[in-house]
Amino acid sequence: MTSSALVVPFATNGEHERAVHRALKERVEEAGQAAPRILYQRFDEFNATFFRGALKPAVILLTPTSPRAFGDYSETDLHGLKSRIRIAPHVWSKRGELFAADVLLHEMVHGFCHEILNDGEPGYRGHGQRFASKCNDIGTTLGLAEVFPNTKKNRELGRPNCAQWPHCVRGKNFYGQEDIERPKKPKAESKDDTALQETIARLVDQLRHSEEVIRSTLKANGDMLLACLTEEDDDDDELDCDAILAAYPELDVQTVELDKLHQEIGALLREVAPR
Ligand SMILES: [Zn+2]
């Protein structure tokens, strides 16, 4: 016999809201691979150290995000899951554990703004004054430089942007893995401008190739794809875009490649420019 008495307590006690979170964490701990297990551990550590344990359990998934985002946070996703954090698998496999943990920490600050401050700062696409302030609170503990809200003025002034925190204020060699995977570049002690210029020229060629692949894919596949690529990472309807973008794996590869190349070229130019 079914009776409403069986249903009502479950539906009203609020516990069910995080039941999936607890079950998933348990399953990851007993059978998950190293990457998700470590990320779940880091979540608990970060929560205790930087948020006084105030964040509620999150669903943490290593799963594709929008191609231009390392990760994202959703207060409530399409399935009704609260506090869902996604981290792109390539972040872990190509950039390493430290980088992925920093992506997690970034998304946890979004969680803090939504869950504790009740202000996701949609006007700043999540990266306003409140977000920046929390980054800077944590940054003080970690010895990181100050970051600023993602405003046009701050961007024009070239101030470190909280939308890229904490990666943008980490030391040059903080992420060892990322450095290992970079193509060979002229040694720092060699001040040979010609070699550096040649390397930059080669990287720029690769960059043009990646851009060309992206451009031609966009051209051939129209506005729908473009809308997905330019979509903000916190949008609620992003799952549709995931499906669409999954049909174009090369686009994802080249977008990641493009991002890496931009960073490499930027680093090399900084090496050459100030003498
Ligand atoms: Zn963000």
Using DSSP's 3-state secondary structure scheme, residue 235 falls into coil
- Which residues 6+ apart lie within 8 Å of 131 measured at CB? 109, 110, 113, 121, 124, 149, 162
Top pLDDT among 204 and 100 is at 100
Q: How far is the CA of 62 from the centre of ligand 1 (A)?
A: 16
Element (H, E) at 231: none
Of 2-16, 62-76, 101-115, 155-169, the range with the lowest mean pLDDT is 2-16
Q: Which band of pLDDT confidence, cut at 50, 70 and 90, is reported for residue 180?
A: very low
How far, rounded to the nearest angstrom, does the alpha carbon of residue 166 sit from its chain's CA centroid?
A: 10
Look up residue 49 and give its DSSP letter.
H
Q: How far is the CA of 247 from the centre of ligand 1 (A)?
A: 25
C-alpha distances in angstroms, 205 versus 198, 202, 267? Answer: 11, 5, 16
Q: Which of 140, 166, 150 is nearest to 234 (CA)?
A: 150
Tell me the per-residue pLDDT of 230-245, one tens digit each, with 9 for 90 and over.
Answer: 555 544 444 456 666 6
Would the pTM of this model clear 0.75, i.e. be above it? no
Q: How far is the CA of 221 from the centre of ligand 1 (A)?
A: 28
Q: How far is the CA of 211 from the centre of ligand 1 (A)?
A: 24
Q: How far is the CA of 133 from the centre of ligand 1 (A)?
A: 13
Look up residue 170 and give its DSSP letter.
S
Cα 150 to Cα 260: distance, rounded to the nearest angstrom: 22
